[in-house]
Structure 1
Amino acid sequence: MTLAIENGSGKATQWQKVMVVAEPTRESAAALHYVLSRVVFDNDILYLLHVENPTFWKTCFKKQSSSTSREGGGCYGGCIGGDVDFLDQMKSACEVVHPRLKVKVSRVETDAKEKAYVIISETKVHGIDLLVVGKRQSLANAILGQSINGTIRETAEYLVENSKCTCVAVQRKGQTGGYLLHTKTHRNFWLLA
Structure 2
Amino acid sequence: MVVAEPTRESAGALQWALSHSLLEKDELFLLHVEQPHTWRNTLSTLFRGPSPPVFAPTNPSLMEGISNGDIDFLDLMKHACEVAQPKVQVKIERVEIDGKDKASTILMKSRMFSIDILVIGQRRSLSNALLGYKLSGGSARVIDTAEYLIENSKCTCVGVQKKGQNGGYVLNTKKQKNFWLLA
TM-score of Structure 1 vs Structure 2, range by shorter chain: 0.7 to 0.9
Q: CA deviation at 1:111?
A: 3.4
1:88 aligns with 2:78: no
Q: CA deviation at 1:124?
A: 0.4
Task: List gaps (5 residues or longer) in structure 2.
Answer: 52-65
Name the TM-score, length of structure 1 as normaliser.
0.76
1:59 counterpart letter in structure 2 = T
Question: What does residue 181 of structure 1 align with?
Answer: 171
Cα contact 1:130–1:167 (8 A) shared by 2: yes
Matches within 5 A, 1:8-87: 19-56=1-38, 59-60=42-43, 63=46, 70-71=49-50, 82-87=69-74
Task: List gaps (5 residues or longer) in structure 1.
Answer: 1-18, 73-79
Q: Paired residues, what number?
A: 163
Structure 1 residues 54 and 99: CA distance shift in structure 2, 3 A: same
Structure 1 CA distance for aligned equivalents of residues 70 and 151 of structure 2? 36
Structure 1 residues 132 and 58: CA distance shift in structure 2, 3 A: closer
Structure 1 residues 104 and 153: CA distance shift in structure 2, 3 A: same
1:43 counterpart letter in structure 2 = K
Question: What does residue 125 of structure 1 align with?
Answer: 112
Tell me which of 79, 99, 103 is aligned to 2:90: 103
Q: Alignment partner of 1:54: what SS?
A: coil
Structure 1 residues 138 and 128: CA distance shift in structure 2, 3 A: same
CA RMSD of aligned residues (A): 2.6
Structure 1 residues 54 and 38: CA distance shift in structure 2, 3 A: same
Cα contact 1:94–1:103 (8 A) shared by 2: yes
Cα contact 2:129–2:142 (8 A) shared by 1: no
Q: CA deviation at 1:164?
A: 0.6
Encode CA deviations 1:45-71: one digit per residue, 9 max, x unaligned. 10000000111386247625xxxx844
Question: What does residue 167 of structure 1 align with?
Answer: 157
Larger RCO, structure (CA 8 Å, separation 6 or more): 2
The percentage of aligned residue pairs carrying the same residue is 55
Cα contact 1:140–1:148 (8 A) shared by 2: no
Q: CA deviation at 1:42?
A: 1.1
Name the TM-score, length of structure 2 as normaliser.
0.80
Encode CA deviations 1:61-85: one digit per residue, 9 max, x unaligned. 7625xxxx8449xxxxxxx993331
